[in-house]
């Protein structure tokens, strides 16, 4: 069977699994219903396991432009075969938070290009491309267990620069990233809380909202117990601690400067 035939077979299966009620329900979550079948995420995930990793089939499914077909493509594509060019092609076609978050969380964060794309996309203007930067950062924080704290500390200034973006999908991505970093380790929790406190004190409404919402979670007893119980990676701990001190010193200088200007 050709790859096009396999993709057509999967599309037929999606059509058979969809319901009008589920499709119409997508609109309540801000997801475009045009091109959607109305298949539940649980059903898609089961089918993805049955299909297994398949880079070629993922490409064919993505090319259909159908909502659930693209979600399925994100679940089954092989991260080892995903190129930076493919990531750029796909991100330009992101049209909802659901596609953005699923592809970043299930696929893109497992590629060797993930950190570079966080850097590139965080300064892009397109709403879902910019959201992808922070969805990807949050996904790395959740999944990359081997990574030390240093790269995440380096990413905090990117979070801070994006915190003034008033667009809802970007704002939610920034909050997700900052929360995820603050849950990863004690060092990152302290650095994320310091950043959230600065944002909470801002006169800019979006920054203030992000800061207050993040502080409530990261300073909660449950999160503090979680991060205190975690052990930082031994080879990275000293570097991460030094970076935390540096960020705190910069934050202190910035606060003093702002107060002096008032």
Domain extent listing, the chain: 1-77, 97-261
> Which H helix or E strand runs over 65?
none
How would you class 197 by CB atoms within 10 Å of its CB: exposed for 0-12, middle for 13-18, buried for 19 or more?
middle
* Cα separation, 173 vs 26, whole angstroms: 19
Could you report the per-residue pLDDT of 62-91, keeping only the tens digit for each? 999 999 999 999 999 999 999 999 999 999
Residue 188 scores a pLDDT above 80:
yes
Query: At 100, is the secondary structure helix, strand, or coil?
Result: helix
pTM (predicted TM-score):
0.86
Hunting for tokens 């490409």 — which residue is that? Answer: 59
Query: At 63, is the secondary structure helix, strand, or coil?
Result: helix
Name the CATH architecture for the domain at 97-261.
Alpha Horseshoe (1.25)
- Those residues with Cβ within 8 angstroms of residue 54's Cβ, 6 or more apart along the chain or in another chain: 76, 77, 78
Which of the four pLDDT bands, split at 50, 70 and 90, describes residue 230? Answer: confident
Query: At 162, is the secondary structure helix, strand, or coil?
Result: helix
């Amino acid at each position: 069977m050709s790859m096009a035939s396999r993709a057509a077979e999967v599309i037929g299966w999606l059509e058979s699994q969809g319901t009008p009620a589920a499709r119409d329900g997508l609109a309540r979550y801000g997801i475009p219903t045009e091109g959607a079948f109305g298949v539940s995420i649980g059903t898609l995930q089961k089918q993805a396991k049955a299909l297994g990793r398949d880079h070629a089939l993922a490409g064919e499914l993505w090319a259909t432009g159908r909502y659930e077909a693209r979600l399925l493509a994100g679940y089954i594509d092989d991260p080892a075969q995903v190129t930076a060019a493919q990531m750029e092609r796909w991100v330009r076609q992101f049209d909802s938070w659901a596609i953005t978050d699923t592809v970043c969380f299930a696929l893109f964060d497992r590629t060797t290009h993930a950190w570079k794309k966080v850097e590139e996309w965080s300064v892009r203007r397109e709403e879902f491309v910019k959201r992808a930067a922070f969805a990807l950062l949050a996904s790395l924080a959740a999944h990359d267990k081997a990574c030390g704290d240093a790269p995440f500390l380096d990413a905090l200034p990117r979070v801070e620069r994006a915190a003034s973006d008033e667009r809802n999908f970007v704002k939610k991505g920034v909050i997700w990233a900052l929360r995820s970093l603050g849950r990863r380790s004690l060092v990152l929790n302290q650095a994320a809380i310091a950043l959230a406190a600065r944002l909470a004190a801002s006169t800019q409404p979006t920054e203030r909202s992000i800061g207050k919402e993040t502080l409530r979670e990261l300073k909660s007893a449950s999160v503090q117990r979680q991060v205190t119980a975690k052990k930082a990676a031994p080879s990275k701990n000293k570097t991460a601690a030094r970076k935390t001190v540096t960020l705190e010193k910069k934050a202190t200088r910035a606060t003093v400067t702002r107060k002096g200007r008032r």
